[in-house]
Amino acid sequence: MRSLYGKFLSFTTGIMMTSAVIAFLVVNTYYHQQLKGQNDAKNMNIALAMADYIETEEPADLESYLRTQAALGYKLFIVNDNRDAHMYGVPFRKENLRIASVDQVLDGQLYHGMRDLKTETFMTGFFSDELANTVGVPFTYNGKTYALFMRPDIKMLFTEVHFLLGGMVVVMAIVSLLSMLIVAKKLIEPITKLTAAAKRVGEEKFTGTLDINRRDEIGQLAQSFQRMTEKLGENDRMRKEFISDVSHDFQSPLLNIKGYANLLMDSELPEQERKNYAKVIQSETERLSSLTKQLLLLTSLDQLESPLKPINFRLDEQLKEVIRKQRWLLEEKQMSLVMELDEVSITGDPSFLEKVWENLLSNALKYTEMGGEIDIRLSGGIDDVKIAVRDNGAGIATEHLSRLFDRFYRVDHSRTHEVEGTGLGLSIVDQVVKLHGGRVEIASVEGEGTTFTVILPKL
Ligand code: ADP
């Protein structure tokens, strides 16, 4: 069986069987090392007591005395000096007593078969029902010498208590096996549920909750899995939204270009209109180009590995350069600019940070009326630097502030005027600043102006 349940089943049975074998080996070794000698000595004492009784009491009917002893649970084998043998009790399974051993006892020595018999197999000598596995003592009766060999009749001695104990072990084994099967089923149930849930996620179905209420490791795994599924679902939704936003943002300039290109085909078109249409096509193409650049920049920021190549550079100089590039726009809109820049060096990626200042400055320019004011301040602290870009333009209503960094999010300023934009600028600002370990704060009052403050760690 390849299932976890099947493996558990075979492992449990395997472990139970192995432990039974090990237990048997341990007990067997213990028997050979300790019990064998003791058992031999105990039985030797009994045999000697029997011999002593026969010799001192001289029972009138030796036969009946020996039969009585056999009935008490012993196997007795008597040999007289003519080598006539007699068995009392259930016969031995194997009659393998050597003649030499018989002679030795008839000569007056003791026979320690229970102690000295070598058992070839693991079966304990305790159970091997052989004539050689006995103790032997000599005795004299009516002037004749006899050899008495004996061992307990294990079958007879196996009383109800032994059966009860044996039964107990079997019942214990069955009950523990069955309960382990039930426990295993309970343990494996949530894994089956998790597998089904993982399959659903694999099919991009991110809905549904896992019905696993446990506090153990599997419960924690289920919780993490649930969180992961929700996150994946959220990402999936965002990805689809993003694609639809991108398609939409590409679609409208393309439609404009197509429309105006059709109009341009008219050879009768007056010169002025032709120029106007060409201008629209040009500006729409620029829009598409900047959209593509911004998307590429965002994609590079989304990489798992940070795209930043940090160096130490003068931030005030970079800000001056960005302002210099946009000065013509400031002049075109007749705006005044106040600059207060401390001499500050930071460690960061200048090419990405340049995009931050460009976006903040161009937004301030875009969303401020002709003749407005822009104020740029750079102040250096011990651990961080602050860059504040303030304008006295349109401002942003409070309800928009939380979504301002979302991709493609734009505030409708149509009440004042329509401004070109993609809704990607601030999300680029936010992501670049975050990659540098900093944050962006916004303070804005609708109709009065906005301040974007970027706080960057120096290192
Ligand atoms: P875009 O400017 O291309 O629309 P941004 O991501 O740069 O996209 O900005 C998102 C929105 O935030 C803009 O549509 C605009 O409404 C608002 N915004 C950004 N900067 C300012 C600002 N300085 N003053 C007023 N509104 C602003």
Distance CA 264, CA 33 (A): 111
Residues linked to residue 37 through DSSP beta bridges, in sequence order: none
Q: Report domain 305-457's class.
A: alpha beta
Residue 116: what pLDDT? 85
Residue 177: what pLDDT? 86
**Residue located nearest, by CA, to atom 21 of ligand 1:** 363
- Is pLDDT above 80 for 47? yes
Mutate to test the pocket of ligand 1, among 362, 367, 424 (most ligand atoms within 8 A of CB): 367
Average predicted confidence (pLDDT) for the chain: 89
Residues linked to residue 441 through DSSP beta bridges, in sequence order: 453
Q: By mean pLDDT, which of 58-67, 256-265, 376-385, 419-428 is the weakest?
A: 419-428
Atom number of ligand 1 nearest to Cα 359 = 7
Residues 58-69 have pLDDT tens digits of 999 999 999 999
Query: H or E segment at 377?
Result: strand 373-380
Q: By mean pLDDT, which of 29-38, 84-93, 133-142 is the weakest?
A: 29-38
SS3 content of the chain, % helix, strand, coil (to 5): 55, 15, 30
Residue 34: what pLDDT? 81
Residues 310-355 have pLDDT tens digits of 999 999 999 999 999 999 989 999 999 999 999 999 999 999 999 9
Residues 246-305 have pLDDT tens digits of 888 899 889 999 999 999 999 898 999 999 999 999 999 998 998 999 999 988 888 878
Residue 411: what pLDDT? 87
Q: What sign does the CA torsion over 203, 206, 209, 212 have?
A: positive
Residue with tokens 């680029």: 428
Residue 421 Cβ contacting ligand 1 at under 6 Å: yes
Distance CA 428, CA 244 (A): 19
Residue 157: what pLDDT? 67
**Residue located nearest, by CA, to atom 8 of ligand 1:** 423
**Residue located nearest, by CA, to atom 15 of ligand 1:** 411
The percentage of residues in the chain with a pLDDT greater than 90, rounded to a whole number, is 61
Mutate to test the pocket of ligand 1, among 422, 426, 450 (most ligand atoms within 8 A of CB): 426
Residue 440 Cβ contacting ligand 1 at under 6 Å: no
Residue 416: what pLDDT? 46
Q: How confident is the model at residue 418 (pLDDT cuts 50, 70, 90)?
A: low
Domain boundaries, the chain: 4-158, 305-457
Residue 367 Cβ contacting ligand 1 at under 6 Å: yes
DSSP symbol at 99: H
What's the 391 CA to ligand 1 centre distance in angstroms?
A: 12
